[in-house]
Structure 1
């Protein structure tokens, strides 16, 4: 497999071009991007370079086109986090954005729309966790890399990448198109795939065996986004918050260092949103309105998703952890109905009532789920390669467990960690590290590393999707559910509420912009709706009334009195205004949610077809009290009072008015 250039000197030739020259490969062909035309050219070997490089960078993340200019995104900071398969694994720590258009500026954009779009790109890369390797396919699990090793010989890293987890594939579209169209202009050594996810690797020494435990999660770029703005499935069979998690164990043999002669074992699990059309519509209440949409192609979309999993991983054991009653029940029933209708031969559905089984902090009851899935875990197995005894793997993983709860976060983390621990014990017994009935709980350091890795993994996935660390992580970290952990969960729940209602709109826009789901049209006038606020004056004014009322009440309580006159009427006035403004805000709650603006969830909010809807809160005095505006007119209310109504913008209108919508 071709390796990538690890360090590039950047030469800036005024307003004419950017040139990148490999530092460690002096005879390699440098790359020039011409700023006026946008052309990308691979220079002849030993082509002359400008006299002095502006800086050294560690890779090119790609090129993104906004409303006024194209921009090249550079990797300028990296942190080494370990070595895997004799290749170094890095985390991206810093990046820089450079404009291609000569008179464009990143620090002082000439138009507020361009400034807004640039801020979305910056916040996306600032908030995410991105990992990469210059010589190992971090996007693919170990078993697939072994199975395709002959086919991959001599191919570039981007060519063999799993496109689901190649996070910056859209940003590298130009580079890939040029390479594909003209083999003489092979830009492959400059195309650096990154993953959005987690990576951790730790050494251990058990019973005279040196081993390393590694945990990798890969987040799918399809249907990517935030907790409430990306739920369920799309018409292509992609589900929200889909993550592939790989637990690797490498055991040295015969005192040999490195990975070549090590025993390699890999165990894969997946998680993803419930594969039906459903959503929770934010309205400022702690529990949003639940909506399950019975569309004609629900079964087709679910079939695409499940058959895709079977094709990728083999047999599927679906584990559902949602509640069997209350708020979550309709989603559970829709999931079970769809799976039953499909009746796929390699798909088996399993239900575990997590909250009932583990109530009163009886978290050890997760063993009931392990017992239920034990036959499937044994049958599906894991990947096991011992190069010292056989050139071919001793075992292949023939299926995976796909786990979900409502958010695929907290309950899912607990279950996946339990499956991983059970499998790790089995692996270390099979390879001879453990003897008899030994398990990782008998080795304090190994158990601590395992718990910390899975706890950190849970926190990072939760932060990426929900905006806070994972709940119930105290059990994963310590093996016990504690009252302190329950209090921390309360804080995290409040943090999620604030972020999901008031901050996640721009975060979702960042996902859609960077992954290419929404493509800006050239010219800021086409994206003016990003800055508009067409809500009625009374809607916009009400938060100011609320905050001013609070201020006046505090002033009345704290400032010195100038007379003995009773403050009864004073407090009555401001408490009345405070109450009325709060009531108004919650009645029209949808108008105060921070919605995505690039692709507003108009059709979900106004869905009128068959299915289930728990309520229509936050939509004003009546369901048709107001209208959502899409397109250039923004996201919020169109008439009277500001509640959200039923108006739907067609997908064609959204494409024309808001920009191009793109799906790979």
Structure 2
């Protein structure tokens, strides 16, 4: 058993001295005290009395998300609202719905920050908390798939949750670093019961009845905190082998569980992963609908790809790399670079599989995704799934490999493919458990089929909103099993919204990711980050949008306001239309300068890359205006990610395979 986590905390504010967190249960548990002036974090004595000067907060605290230092003060982030999303194997799983930010500096107000830089950083923090999908459990490790938990169960005995959590999916690991440092430096001041790991992803669980048997279907996605960010500002791979938009998706099936009970007869787990094409590449926004494609052939490209694939095989075993990127047009260079570097890396247990999605499924023939399943038939049979029967001491089957799927964004095409693979595996699992006959299919059971489609569609929307800012495309097929014209029209609207968000709003979203995950750490003193609230672009760049707006106003004014003379307005409209056209042309020519780039870590090395590789075009650069000089935050402090995870989870595949052979 893990060390228990405190599920409810009562918060007391002792004036400007401290925040005191008293566990509601068990009675007599040691309170946590955070001293506001010094920032010290300590455990008080058991049954310690609350100071008479302390006042109790009106809100119940359901967990401490962590502690973050901004330019003026440090802030505690606490969870003040939660929503029960279901029970997995009898363990409640919650979504965090409300948060409160508590300043440590007594002279700082969260609602009225003392400096615009601090206000900007707090706004980034709030936006991330409000838009993210955080899930957690107090007595179940939601960061790890079931097979990983089973393999490590003996070694996990008596440890705290944060010690055994999967470092990749422990989203608030950086925010909890102070608490973890205090615990590791002084075991007598063990804060493990207050360190609550959360995942950024999705969780859904639903119950069905098939042929008189209770079947629970659960879908969990876990988003990696490494190379996290938005669609166009985090692409490809980094030097440590981390890829953008990496998600592990686990489909759990529990058979024989009675509603409201913890028991089960049979348990299945099937895992898939997705992630950006593991090469150095990017798409550079220029205000055009299709960004400029940039592929960078760097010295360590092969090493980075090898690191990524080696980590994947160490964690999951055999790798089936399913690539859905187009083989022609804009996407072709990405496909070719992927194939080239996978071949050069030459990592054992890795097989590359290309599927021409748009060609095979054109004219809305999404049912032809079955061709991919036919191509993967042998790999899926070899890799298997995790299978536990309650009456047997050892698992019946182990999953010894995964399918890693990607398209350009790892969203829409990837969702369709993963949902189809998951459905095929679910059918096989229910046949294996004897719930349905060998010639039966889940399509004959409306309730289960509906649940499966809706869960995968919702899951697709969660991942797409986190990465692209809108719901996923093509979900009409995932949700209903059919591709419709209404769904295609809805996809057009979402594509327009993605364009607007990706060009004009994702810069601040990316800054929020970098701030919360610790990729960028502010220095003390707001003057070191004034670049966050100032616009250092040349005056002409800043002025043209005002010219465009005023020209548009004058055109509408000429069309709508009553006339006071009979003179022709031809020259009036010619002038203002010409000025409007010039302004639009200028903005398009200098498109890069009008994109809302991230300010904490601007991608100047990508925008101005001129080394070996491929670039589809050089749009939006105007007449040589240097965006790096204009927007780079050179005074920022940098913080590296932690070391790559090397622990007992790497032994899972080998251990699992060994037990299976035995």
TM superposition score normalised by structure 2: 0.95
SS in 2 for 1:334: helix
Q: CA deviation at 1:629?
A: 3.4
Q: Which residue does the alignment assign to 1:34?
A: 35
SS in 1 for 2:487: helix
Instruction: Determine whether 1:355 maps to 2:352.
Output: no
Gaps of 5+ in 2: 643-662
What whole-Å deviation, never above 9, does each CA across 1:509-556 have from its counterpart, x for those lacking one? 000000000001101111111112111111101111111111111111
Alpha-carbon distance in 1 for matches of 2:253, 2:240: 35
SS in 1 for 2:628: coil
What whole-Å deviation, never above 9, does each CA across 1:470-528 have from its counterpart, x for those lacking one? 11111001111111111000000000000000000000000000000000110111111
Gaps of 5+ in 1: 636-653
Provide closer, same or farther for how the CA distance between residues 288 and 584 of structure 1 changes in structure 2, counting only shifts above 3 A: same
Alpha-carbon distance in 2 for matches of 1:444, 1:332: 38
Q: Which residue does the alignment assign to 1:21?
A: 22
Q: Which residue does the alignment assign to 1:634?
A: 631
Q: Which residue does the alignment assign to 1:638?
A: none
Q: Which residue does the alignment assign to 1:270?
A: 273
Q: Which residue does the alignment assign to 2:523?
A: 521
Q: CA deviation at 1:661?
A: 3.1
Q: Which residue does the alignment assign to 2:647?
A: none
Q: Which residue does the alignment assign to 1:657?
A: 635
CA contact (8 A) 1:143 1:266 kept: yes
Instruction: Determine whether 1:91 maps to 2:69.
Output: no
Q: CA deviation at 1:50?
A: 3.5
Across the two proteins, how many residue pairs are aligned to each other? 638
Alpha-carbon distance in 1 for matches of 2:475, 2:566: 55
CA contact (8 A) 2:521 2:636 kept: no
Alpha-carbon distance in 1 for matches of 2:41, 2:118: 23
Alpha-carbon distance in 1 for matches of 2:4, 2:550: 61
Q: Which residue does the alignment assign to 2:45?
A: 44
Q: Which residue does the alignment assign to 1:647?
A: none
**Aligned pairs for 1:464-475 within 5 A:** 464-475=466-477
Instruction: Determine whether 1:101 maps to 2:105.
Output: yes
Q: CA deviation at 1:256?
A: 9.2
What whole-Å deviation, never above 9, does each CA across 1:573-623 have from its counterpart, x for those lacking one? 1110110000000000000000000011011111111000001000004xx
Q: Which residue does the alignment assign to 1:222?
A: 226
Q: CA deviation at 1:260?
A: 3.7
Alpha-carbon distance in 2 for matches of 1:464, 1:342: 31
**Aligned pairs for 1:322-341 within 5 A:** 322-341=325-344
Q: Which residue does the alignment assign to 1:651?
A: none
Q: Which residue does the alignment assign to 2:57?
A: 54
Equivalent of residue 296 in structure 1, options 299, 308, 318: 299
Alpha-carbon distance in 2 for matches of 1:105, 1:491: 40
Alpha-carbon distance in 2 for matches of 1:603, 1:75: 38
Alpha-carbon distance in 1 for matches of 2:264, 2:205: 18
**Aligned pairs for 1:510-589 within 5 A:** 510-589=512-591
Alpha-carbon distance in 2 for matches of 1:524, 1:425: 58
CA contact (8 A) 1:8 1:22 kept: yes
Equivalent of residue 286 in structure 1, options 285, 289, 298: 289
CA contact (8 A) 1:57 1:74 kept: yes
CA contact (8 A) 1:519 1:662 kept: no
Equivalent of residue 152 in structure 1, options 156, 159, 166: 156
Alpha-carbon distance in 2 for matches of 1:256, 1:564: 81
Q: Which residue does the alignment assign to 1:481?
A: 483
TM superposition score normalised by structure 1: 0.95
Q: Which residue does the alignment assign to 2:412?
A: 410
Q: CA deviation at 1:26?
A: 1.5
SS in 2 for 1:350: strand
Alpha-carbon distance in 2 for matches of 1:484, 1:549: 37
Alpha-carbon distance in 2 for matches of 1:440, 1:404: 26
Moved over 6 A (4+): none
What whole-Å deviation, never above 9, does each CA across 1:36-73 have from its counterpart, x for those lacking one? 00001100101011454213211100000000000000
CA contact (8 A) 1:250 1:259 kept: no
SS in 2 for 1:657: coil
Q: CA deviation at 1:257?
A: 6.3
CA contact (8 A) 2:10 2:22 kept: yes
Q: CA deviation at 1:660?
A: 2.6
Alpha-carbon distance in 2 for matches of 1:99, 1:595: 29
SS in 2 for 1:180: helix
CA contact (8 A) 1:252 1:259 kept: no
Equivalent of residue 208 in structure 1, options 204, 208, 212: 212
Alpha-carbon distance in 2 for matches of 1:259, 1:434: 23
Alpha-carbon distance in 1 for matches of 2:373, 2:380: 9
SS in 2 for 1:474: helix
Alpha-carbon distance in 2 for matches of 1:490, 1:538: 34
Q: Which residue does the alignment assign to 1:643?
A: none
Q: Which residue does the alignment assign to 1:440?
A: 442
Q: Which residue does the alignment assign to 1:316?
A: 319
Alpha-carbon distance in 2 for matches of 1:50, 1:382: 55
Equivalent of residue 174 in structure 1, options 164, 169, 178: 178
Q: Which residue does the alignment assign to 2:610?
A: 608
Alpha-carbon distance in 2 for matches of 1:372, 1:239: 26
Q: CA deviation at 1:261?
A: 3.4
- Structure with greater contact order relative to length (CA < 8 Å, sep ≥ 6): 2
**Aligned pairs for 1:617-632 within 5 A:** 617-621=619-623, 625-630=624-629
Q: CA deviation at 1:199?
A: 0.4
CA contact (8 A) 2:602 2:628 kept: no
What whole-Å deviation, never above 9, does each CA across 1:236-293 have from its counterpart, x for those lacking one? 000000000000000017x696334331100000000000000000000000000000
